[in-house]
Homo-oligomer: A and B are copies of this chain.
Amino acid sequence: MSGTHTEVPSLVSAPLPHPVPADEYGACPVTDVLRRIGDKWTVLVVVLLGRRRHRFNELHRSVDGISQRMLTRTLRTLEQDGLVEREVHPTVPPSVEYGLTPLGRSLLPPLSGLADWAVAHHGEITAARGRATGEDGQMARSRPAQ
């Protein structure tokens, strides 16, 4: 790949609203969203809910490793952001179902694009990471491990 411009995506060539405000999170939608879905469990939950609606404990079992606290917090945040919908069945004992809203479903395609990249290049990243840290006692460039 040398001269093939490859059709630069929008954000790469133009978007940045202003040179870079970055004063508050709300100033940069991209950073704001990235930080939301960049936590430990959000993506996993969104993907699971993207497949079908789930009940609380069903998610709890599916993710396995997440604590109730984190599952609750994750769902709360997603609900507050309008990505997830909560449906309470007034039964006894109570049952609650979670599902994606249209907005939440619209996140799936772009998220999938990034996920595909992650799966495709995770090996390279891991390799580079291993090359950079210790390995054979030789740092990549005479820099004393951070």
Contact = CB atoms under 8 A, between A and B. Distances in A.
A35 interface: yes
B10 A116 contact: yes
Given A30-B119, A34-B38, A110 B103 contact: no
A20 to B, nearest CB: 5
Contacts of A37: 34, 38
Interface residues of A, number: 78
Given A33-B118, A62-B19, A113-B110, A124 B1 contact: no
Given A35-B40, A124-B82, A47 B113 contact: no
Given A80-B133, A107-B117, A128-B82, A73 B29 contact: no
